[in-house]
Structure 1
């Protein structure tokens, strides 16, 4: 399942991204960005959508301001973006295909963590609303000395809190920004999505279209059996 890894290898802890991996909230971010852009009469260039995916919301606010030629509005746009996303995400939390089943199957057999660029309260409230928060021992977000993705900090911190070396973890990510973060932290990563970029495929240790992938589900079942028998 993973390139450059023995077929017998299995993780001792698993770290999940949140948006687009556990929760189908990328649409909420897209809608929130569009709402803010429309409110301010801004029209981004064609590269904006790709550049904005997976980045920290403050960076997205700066990106919107820069692309609109209004750099002084970065803080205002960031606040507006987060406000719009909170309203959308809290109203309709939706899980990604296969996420509830995979998380539930692993819970109790190994440490599970979430590494996200979103604020702590947003991540926890959305996961709680979707019935997933109780399965995770740790939720790691930027703050203090922990920098946002694509820096490695949130993944490195998640591995440390789980009590395992980064190379003994496995990450699940849907964005290039997040994949870069996990790889930089030394954590093997499985990418998720239907249309991966060339760089995403090169960096990821494996790729599935969703967490319902039959080969992934079967492989994850073997981790649980190994942990319980050990």
Structure 2
């Protein structure tokens, strides 16, 4: 990793992933997947949780159906997955450790955006319930014209909407899928949370266990604060 590319640098904008980075929703996705498997009388394959992390929910539904030898159930499993996840998030919208404090500090000085593989209404409602939605100028999600992560589309679009070059923006991510997306778009990458297995996480510039990491917050209170008020 090249921590100095973060800690010795002041970004012009920050683009956050949502699930597992801002919101503690990866456990909801895992619970939703398990509920779907049980609903259809299927057993999750070994290691499936790590394989599915950060994947767009439509692709996840397809993976679930294919991994259990039931490709004909793809549409039904995908629909059920989103229904279960929506209910779980509505009942328990919790932010990841340190996320709210970092967002509120950064929003005073930089344009902020979210780049997510989740549906727009899901991202907006979870951030709104957590009191964070108003801090973001732009919410960018995969859709008709933007391919989902690991493609670079959502991060490239978010940087553009923030009015900065990708290389001047920082991505904050928790999954290899998201890291690959941000890197392909040209952003520097901060990884946060449990470090994924394998070598995929090696593409980040700095990894912290939480967004409340003391060194990270010290950086935020100096380097981010140097930027002044956010521009449009």
Coarse TM-score class (shorter-chain normalised): over 0.9
How much does 1:223 deviate?
2.6
Task: With the length of structure 1 as denominator, give the TM-score of the two structures.
Answer: 0.95
Task: With the length of structure 2 as denominator, give the TM-score of the two structures.
Answer: 0.95
In the TM superposition, structure 1's runs of 4+ consecutive aligned residues that sit over 3 Å from their partners are 1-4
Equivalent position of 1:69 in the other structure: 69
Aligned residues: 230
Equivalent position of 2:111 in the other structure: 111
Relative distance call for 1:8 and 1:215 in structure 2 (3 A) is same
How much does 1:6 deviate?
7.8
Structure 1: any 5+ residue segments left out of the alignment? Answer: none
SS at match of 1:15: strand
Query: How many Å separate the matches in 2 of 1:229 and 1:15?
Result: 17
RMSD: 1.7
Query: How many Å separate the matches in 1 of 2:118 and 2:194?
Result: 23
Residue 5 in structure 1 maps to residue 2 in structure 2: no
Structure 2: any 5+ residue segments left out of the alignment? Answer: none
Query: How many Å separate the matches in 1 of 2:117 and 2:42?
Result: 24
Q: Give runs of aligned pairs for residues 68-107 of structure 1, distance below 5 A.
A: 68-107=68-107
Equivalent position of 2:15 in the other structure: 15
Relative distance call for 1:229 and 1:55 in structure 2 (3 A) is closer
Query: How many Å separate the matches in 2 of 1:40 and 1:53?
Result: 21
Specify which structure has the bigger relative contact order, considering alpha-carbon pairs within 8 angstroms and separated by 6 or more residues: 2
How much does 1:2 deviate?
4.4
SS at match of 1:11: coil
Query: How many Å separate the matches in 2 of 1:185 and 1:135?
Result: 23
Equivalent position of 1:147 in the other structure: 147
Native 8 Å contact 1:191 1:200 kept in 2:
no
